[in-house]
Structure 1
């Protein structure tokens, strides 16, 4: 177990062996404790969000994995990977537990891992240690013969769930009634749909079918420019903050960015307000990044006058404006790696990445803006017990033939249009990154 282990820190806090606080005492429990209970995202940043009806549920994890120690699970994972060899590839998102991430063949953000999916076409199975929309994307970009596996089916994403295909379709129909569908004299249509990578395959397919595109936190500005070349305005979902922060940096006035609330007629705006709109923002957000505040930045500056504050663009606009820089998880990582020894960083993103960066860079002072430990609820549903389970299922035994469990597949009726939107995203190249230390910068993925 590494010293960067958030899981270990949480358990030490609960037993009183370490100082600090967490947002829920349930974080110290194994995630299998919540698999068969009341439906929800689980303890952590999304525990107050409403899980949609019909969301995937994880079945019971066999007892031998629930009772095993971290060390025993690590040995089983290594043995299974050695047996499987090149037949399997494990992808791990930056926000995963250290106990899981140490076994990944590729580590990155959602955009980098989407690219990594295409780099191993000969692997029979891709185990995606992340969340559901990432596994769907891997299935879309992998070969038909490859099986994509999500170790815990309950690892969803509350932000992705805030925009569903029925609500977006209803919104689109209202906008078509308001704007019409005919292009202008320059050939631009009334509105182009843009979905963040953090969305379901169905929404990616919606964009592909309606002339739209997928974006990441790195190429959001490039994608908006792509969309404005084809449409007079953009419908951006599901994350309002990434859309607002990106459009504001491009010079679009806030009054031209109305919010669309799917529970209200015309999204809660007037026809005139929507007529003046350049970017229509969906009423969605990331519960991890919503926790960061301007007061936290003020406190960090008071305690550390030389602090460099970097936050993720999923943070609210006021937080992004108060920070020194903003950028993707990969941008944050690279900024720290490039900094001179002795630098002090206050980071506004998920605690697993922040604590890992602090452990990897003892030459710096690195801490999370939020003093309360509150990991991403759904990333935290992946545990080394589930990783050992899906790997050993692929190996099989004399008594139990090898099998693929927790396979994620995208319906072929959805897949075609979704791939179109993703390929447009992969072709959208952001401008060269600004030098480390510059303001209002973005990195290379979600």
Structure 2
């Protein structure tokens, strides 16, 4: 039986979160899986191994001692150091950040610190890679805990994307190594990767006429792509691709899912020829948890509630909300609200809690009643931050993230195209 478009939309939220959230992250770093929280059950593609390595002494330090070490190191290192904290980081880490924002905002923020020799990125692996790609010569990027990966980013690996590209080129009758525009001046397909992907996939897009997008400029990027190609291969997040293309008027029937574990992604050639956007079978475990039932409950319990969700949420959730937008858009949505407003938010809990604390004259809460933070973002802890900063004081760079030069060059090309694709 062929599944309908709606049936094929990945939306299977868990009913409870993991009790291991109460454990210290270093107890989980060497264990299989992504750790406690929403992506606990996500399958790790092989080979993905990023073991943590926090020395025992830092595991045993009190909060007060860790705080003292971090503050002292920041003072001693001065302008030679910049600490970046993602919106989804725990408050115990964000308090030390020089900049707080989404991954691309932070990578660009680091560029404003010319004197910084070390960029400590309190986020996840792909974010640190992007910072290294954009960093100036001589700057070193550090990820406090190498176990802080991203399950969504790992759902699209380089080998699988290369294999999909070869299959698609065969269907469209072109040489994958030398794709030329047709009589209309358009390519048969262009790859678009979400910022939440590895440097290898950004580089893949760079050398195949492709581009990177963020959740805030995805529509502008798709417009850019459609001007140059008949269709788009969008990875790794199916929901951002579907929600963005649907809002642009692309019919769901022209957005088949590409499952890398099935021949032709689980499609037939006719569907691929009719496609406008090929959606990779990937998703964010945190945003997949949000449901229309949660929205219905929020409206029933809070008449007049304003609901905003992240576009990584499943399509029915985005359609049922009052608004959808990136983490920065959510922040601006709350800032533009009025005292006394009630706002329900569909995104990671640490950001929601921080907004609620920042605006105590509003009622702000998370749509998901089961608190389930980003499993991998949770891996960053003050203990890791204190360790890498102490290392810098001692002349040692722990956990440096380095993107190979050739890969960085191609990835930078895709990122520069993204920067040139301005929203209208």
Report the TM-score when normalising by structure 2: 0.94
Give 2:371's aligned residue. 373
Of 20, 34, 38, the match for 2:28:
34
How many pairs are equivalent?
A: 405
Deviation digits for residues 45-67 of structure 1 (CA, Å, limit 9, x no counterpart) = 11101123332423431222212
SS of residue paired to 1:372: coil
Give 1:171's aligned residue. 164
Give 1:421's aligned residue. 414
Separation (CA, whole Å) in 1 of partners of 2:93 and 2:247: 36
**Structure 1 residue 27: Cα displacement:** 0.4
Of 85, 103, 107, the match for 1:110:
103
Give 1:139's aligned residue. 132
**Structure 1 residue 266: Cα displacement:** 1.0
Gaps of 5+ in 2: 1-14, 175-179
Given the alignment of the two structures, is residue 204 of structure 1 paired with residue 202 of structure 2, yes or no?
A: yes
Separation (CA, whole Å) in 2 of partners of 1:39 and 1:126: 29
Given the alignment of the two structures, is residue 276 of structure 1 paired with residue 274 of structure 2, yes or no?
A: yes
Given the alignment of the two structures, is residue 128 of structure 1 paired with residue 118 of structure 2, yes or no?
A: no
Gaps of 5+ in 1: 1-20, 397-401, 432-446
CA contact (8 A) 1:27 1:44 kept: yes
SS of residue paired to 2:401: coil
Give 1:312's aligned residue. 310
Separation (CA, whole Å) in 2 of partners of 1:31 and 1:403: 23
Give 2:149's aligned residue. 156
Report the TM-score when normalising by structure 1: 0.89
CA contact (8 A) 1:77 1:388 kept: yes
Give 2:393's aligned residue. 395
CA contact (8 A) 1:70 1:99 kept: no
Q: Compute the RMSD of aligned alpha carbons.
A: 1.2
Give 2:260's aligned residue. 262
**Structure 1 residue 219: Cα displacement:** 0.6
SS of residue paired to 1:64: helix
**Structure 1 residue 69: Cα displacement:** 2.3
**Structure 1 residue 415: Cα displacement:** 1.2
CA contact (8 A) 1:346 1:367 kept: yes
Of 220, 226, 229, the match for 1:228:
226
**Structure 1 residue 111: Cα displacement:** 1.9
Separation (CA, whole Å) in 1 of partners of 2:28 and 2:253: 43
Separation (CA, whole Å) in 1 of partners of 2:224 and 2:162: 22
Report runs of 4+ in structure 1 exceeding 6 Å deviation. Answer: none
Separation (CA, whole Å) in 1 of partners of 2:194 and 2:88: 18
Separation (CA, whole Å) in 2 of partners of 1:59 and 1:371: 30
SS of residue paired to 1:229: helix
Deviation digits for residues 302-348 of structure 1 (CA, Å, limit 9, x no counterpart) = 00011000000000000000000000111111111111100001100
**Structure 1 residue 186: Cα displacement:** 2.1
CA contact (8 A) 2:152 2:196 kept: yes
